[in-house]
Amino acid sequence: MTTSILTADKDWWRGAVIYQIYPRSFQDSNGDGIGDLKGITARLGHVASLGADAIWISPFFTSPMRDFGYDVSDYCDVDPIFGTLSDFDALIAEAHRLGIRVMIDLVMSHTSSDHPWFKESKVSRDNPKADWYVWADAKPDGTPPNNWLSIFGGSAWQWDPGRMQYFLHNFLTTQPDLNLHNPEVQNALLDATRFWLKRGVDGFRLDTINFYFHDRQLRDNPALAPERRNANTAPAVNPYNFQEHLYDKNQPENLAFLKRFRAVLDEFPAIAAVGEVGDSQRGLEIVGEYTSGGDKMHMCYAFEFLAPERPTPVSVAEVLHAFAAAAPEGWACWAFSNHDVVRHVSRWGAGIEDTDAFAKLYAALLMSLRGSVCIYEGEELALPEAEIAFEDLQDPYGIEFWPAFKGRDGCRTPMVWEGSAAQGGFSTAAKTWLPVPDAHLSRAVDRQQDAKGSVMEHYRTFIAFRKQHAALIKGAIRFLPVTGNMVSFTRTHGEETLLCLFNMGEAMERQPLPPGDWSVLSGHGLTGNLEGATVELPAWGGLIARLV
């Protein structure tokens, strides 16, 4: 029996640092070349040493793995690739012993076509689960019911010859959309939620949270003017960006379901949930709706900081101001990288000479913004995006749009633990599910462990610094006028006010201090100087001071 050192703090999520684990790529315990739950358990000490408050584990449920776990065929079991329910219970116990909370990824907008629910649903139009998915008749000419598009390319409708109807799929054709207008579907999903809560999880990340409901009238989406298109939700080569997605997602009925979901969470102590809002036009507005009132999501994130364009001091302030305006009652969860986008060291840092300094600066900035934080595995090592040959690709998204869009495999390669070990210490297999890039080995955990000035030690240092200052965890934020490439803001909580200054450029920046008696703080790993009333920051430098 293990003993948990966690307390039943219902507010633990507010300002938490959450470490995302992609289970296929974290640690392989049985030599099959694929990461698993036992591997995660064995490496939790690394997460604890970073100082993270929680882990978010991407899906490990039973699945045919056509979309690597985001196509669920059994919500209440572990896929044999990853282990067993007993392995999951052991993971929970070890995480709690180390003081780490566990959040898991719930995929409730769609299932796998292999799910028993869908197999029954497609048999006929009058079986008990006939209305559990989104079915519609063809137009008189046999074409799909409307113009909705799939994020993975092409129409969002797939013909089923058995029912002689189309079914909706916002992603792969093998990922049919559930019909959450049906209360029985909602109940089944809430039952699955309770199943994992009873096993001891501390919260959930909700995949594609704004896709749960569709327009009952199946109205066509209008075209989107070219100047309003962006590539935040889908890559630029995808015609999905050509539509304004008014009717295939973002429906008002979702608010009532999220209240039902929150009520289930509130049956258990100290549970939290974060929702992924995938929408390029109304993302922050939807975040505001979903986090308002204290009876829906605890927090959500949109795609502003997962975008291809590198943030600037002006854009950082604009995003935070827009969030505050859209979600005055809400709480954000910010991330710069995850399993779906090019790693931000490559996405924003291409051509930068001092990659380590760049990575450290952005880590400090991320963890100084108002909100909770998600760190993606390997981010603390400043891993660059991997180059994957077409013949090694696994991601159906990349295979579909190659070579204009190379898919998501480049950010999903195995974690590197030991620079001199075969497969970077990830696996004893001769071949892993994705190759371990040679370029990553020099950045392995053992190469950066206790190495003065390493990116990993900077993450540890700054997370520890953050925990010492309530202003950085829960404080209000106020931006100062932008000067050059320097972003400046204060964080205030109770009697503590901190001034945070970050140079987001490659040249020295100088800026006068705002009025007040400021004392420069140490222990955060940033480089910067205070000369009289002037702040001097080198390229990718920063400074944090306290109002005395």
Give the Cα separation of 514 and 252 in Å (integer): 44
Question: How distant, in Å, are the alpha carbons of 67, 92, 233, 265 from that of 390?
Answer: 17, 37, 23, 43
Secondary structure (DSSP) of 413-460: SPP---TTSGGGGS-SSSS-SSPPPHHHHTT-HHHHTT-TT-HHHHHH
Residues contacting residue 194 through CB under 8 Å, at least 6 positions apart: 264, 267
Give the Cα separation of 439 and 410 in Å (integer): 12
Give the Cα separation of 69 and 83 in Å (integer): 13
Cβ burial, residue 261 (10 Å; 0-12/13-18/19+): buried
Q: Which two tokens stand for residue 158?
A: 């797939």
3 state SS of 171: coil
Q: From 175, 182, 167, 180, select the one nearest 213 (Cα to Cα).
A: 180
Give the Cα separation of 503 and 518 in Å (integer): 19
Q: From 548, 546, 508, 547, select the one nearest 528 (Cα to Cα).
A: 508
Give the Cα separation of 67 and 170 in Å (integer): 13
Give the Cα separation of 266 and 181 in Å (integer): 23
Q: Do the strands 157-160 and 74-78 form a parallel or antiparallel pair, or are they unpaired?
A: unpaired
Q: From 165, 120, 173, 114, select the one nearest 144 (Cα to Cα).
A: 165
Do the beta carbons of residue 464 and residue 51 sit within 8 Å? yes
Residues contacting residue 329 through CB under 8 Å, at least 6 positions apart: 288, 291, 292, 293, 294
Residues contacting residue 467 through CB under 8 Å, at least 6 positions apart: 51, 473
Residues contacting residue 106 through CB under 8 Å, at least 6 positions apart: 192, 193, 196, 204, 205, 206, 207
Give the Cα separation of 261 and 296 in Å (integer): 7
**Catalytic (active site) residue 506:** no
**Catalytic (active site) residue 207:** yes
| Encoded amino acid at 143, one letter | T
Q: Which two tokens stand for residue 1?
A: 């029996």
| Encoded amino acid at 164, one letter | M
Give the Cα separation of 230 and 280 in Å (integer): 7
Catalytic residue among 36, 79, 207, 289: 207
Catalytic residue among 89, 184, 267, 309: 267
Residues with a catalytic annotation lie at 207, 267
